[in-house]
Chain A
């Protein structure tokens, strides 16, 4: 199977001698649907930055689709975390058009084709009726869809999502994961979240990180999650029912 992302011995951070992520080996095959979980401050966003090529690792190598992240950047669609309470005045269509900036080029207007691509991706996410709306009038779930449409407008092969379910309610989460499962049919998806309870059954593999990679596979034991978060699993899942991907130790033994 081809590799979408490969990290080998990656150590990175912002202040010398104080690495946020340490010696991470992680291979993501093409068409995988990977959820990276870990506590806040555990290095999830840093890991995403390394994959995006925004942060150069101190040690180790990163390759995306067989080349350096800076070279393969156009192949990655990035969906950042929603900023709660942001009041920036911008229309939905203008947000999605940002995904066409690379194509449009500097000092030029967006072409008819760019606009078509943007509108097409809004309809793909069932929010085409919001095109002219102010971004601030949208619900958390709608904003999330707009940001995904923006990422898709660049026609990526890999979709990276940072805390995509942090500010949406439970029902929205469900339809959101159905949507991601649909997209997963023709692209690799990697999402990070601190919310273990939010990880859906649609996810194919799951990795747990807290400075180092604690585990990576189709299921995680509640022990390794507890170790990463430093507290029993029941506390971090907020009493919710653990999904099948979080099969506990007994299950994996049988």
Chain B
């Protein structure tokens, strides 16, 4: 296993895993406390349309995915100011439309299906230097935005109406949150793949939420958990010769189940 670290692709995989953990822990916490994992899922799937279009146009797929994810987030922000039921429908529609458009674009572009699979199921062992840069820049942006607007993110997540009455620009904060979620979803696609993005955005944060009593502690613990799960999953996948994304998700699910049991035992409800 240690020898593996001699390979550049393995070094990149480790660095991206660690960097993504920070974004995953912070944004995942906000997604979880705002109960928006379905929204994160639909943004991630919408980005698949952009991915396909980028292949067709011969552009960097990461750029296509990012543009579509951000556009999807903006679309949801615009729609969700209205009724809840309408938001649900919009999210479901965006989820499926993104996938359908992506599939058609990819078919038209004549890309190998192996490439397609790597986006759907992750390609941690194939991350490039530009992916490392993307992850690092995203972490810096997230850390700056969240520390700068921490009290606003906290209050809007806890009680949006009261925040509005206090003069907090709730739409601006929500917009920032959706865009950062979109970018994080695109980054996580590299690791666990599009289909499993939701798991990485919700499981570490959900576990952290069971053992912490404040939002920033939850963010820190979720980031640490995500890092441990990513690295452990990567190592296990290397040893067992299995796809890392899938191993990471299974480990996360296992950790979640164990945490649930611990929590039940602690509160004596078993």
Find out whether the CB atom of A101 lies under 8 angstroms from the CB atom of B166.
yes
For B217, list chain A residues within 8 Å (CB): 89
Find out whether the CB atom of B169 lies under 8 angstroms from the CB atom of A89.
no
A17 shortest CB reach to chain B, Å: 16
User: Which residues of B come within 8 Å of A, CB atoms?
Assistant: 33, 148-149, 151-152, 154-155, 157-159, 161-169, 209, 212-215, 217-218
A89-B213, A154-B166 known; 12 new pairs, CB 8 Å cut-off, are A54-B165, A76-B165, A78-B161, A80-B161, A80-B162, A89-B214, A89-B215, A90-B213, A98-B155, A98-B159, A101-B152, A101-B167
Cα distance A107–B144 in the bound complex, in angstroms: 11
For B218, list chain A residues within 8 Å (CB): 89
Residue from A90, A94, A109 having most chain B Cβ neighbours under 10 A: A90
Find out whether the CB atom of A73 lies under 8 angstroms from the CB atom of B154.
no
Cα distance A85–B164 in the bound complex, in angstroms: 23
Cα distance A91–B209 in the bound complex, in angstroms: 13
Find out whether the CB atom of A88 lies under 8 angstroms from the CB atom of B166.
no
Nearest chain B residue, comparing its CB with the CB of A95: B158
For A89, list chain B residues within 8 Å (CB): 33, 209, 212-215, 217-218
Find out whether the CB atom of B154 lies under 8 angstroms from the CB atom of A90.
yes
Query: A-B contact count, CB below 8 Å?
Result: 68
Cα distance A250–B249 in the bound complex, in angstroms: 71
For B152, list chain A residues within 8 Å (CB): 101, 106
A83 shortest CB reach to chain B, Å: 9
Find out whether the CB atom of B212 lies under 8 angstroms from the CB atom of A97.
no
For B168, list chain A residues within 8 Å (CB): 101, 106
Find out whether the CB atom of B164 lies under 8 angstroms from the CB atom of A54.
yes
Would you give the 0/1 interface string for A148-163, flagging 1 where the beta carbon is closer than 8 Å to chain B? 0010001000000000
- A142 at interface by CB-CB < 8 Å: no
Instruction: Say which residue of A73, A107, A110 sits within 8 Å of B165 (CB atoms).
Output: A73
Q: List 21 A-B residue pairs with CB atoms under 8 Å apart, sorted by A's residue number.
A: A52-B165, A54-B165, A73-B165, A76-B165, A80-B161, A88-B158, A89-B214, A89-B215, A90-B154, A90-B158, A90-B214, A91-B213, A94-B154, A97-B151, A98-B155, A98-B158, A101-B151, A102-B167, A106-B168, A110-B151, A136-B213
For B214, list chain A residues within 8 Å (CB): 89-91, 94, 134
B67 shortest CB reach to chain A, Å: 28
Given the known interface contacts A89-B33, A107-B148, A107-B149, the answer about A99 and B213 at a Cβ–Cβ threshold of 8 Å is no
Cα distance A213–B212 in the bound complex, in angstroms: 46
For A54, list chain B residues within 8 Å (CB): 161, 164-165
For B209, list chain A residues within 8 Å (CB): 87, 89
Cα distance A104–B167 in the bound complex, in angstroms: 11
Find out whether the CB atom of A109 lies under 8 angstroms from the CB atom of B151.
yes
For A101, list chain B residues within 8 Å (CB): 151-152, 155, 163, 166-168
Find out whether the CB atom of B165 lies under 8 angstroms from the CB atom of A88.
no
For A136, list chain B residues within 8 Å (CB): 213
Cα distance A98–B159 in the bound complex, in angstroms: 9
For A73, list chain B residues within 8 Å (CB): 165, 167
- 13-40 of chain A: CB within 8 A of chain B: none
For A134, list chain B residues within 8 Å (CB): 213-214
Cα distance A143–B122 in the bound complex, in angstroms: 44
Nearest chain B residue, comparing its CB with the CB of A100: B166
For A104, list chain B residues within 8 Å (CB): 151
B182 shortest CB reach to chain A, Å: 22
Nearest chain A residue, comparing its CB with the CB of B32: A89
Find out whether the CB atom of A98 lies under 8 angstroms from the CB atom of B33.
no
For A98, list chain B residues within 8 Å (CB): 155, 158-159, 162-163, 166
Cα distance A94–B213 in the bound complex, in angstroms: 11
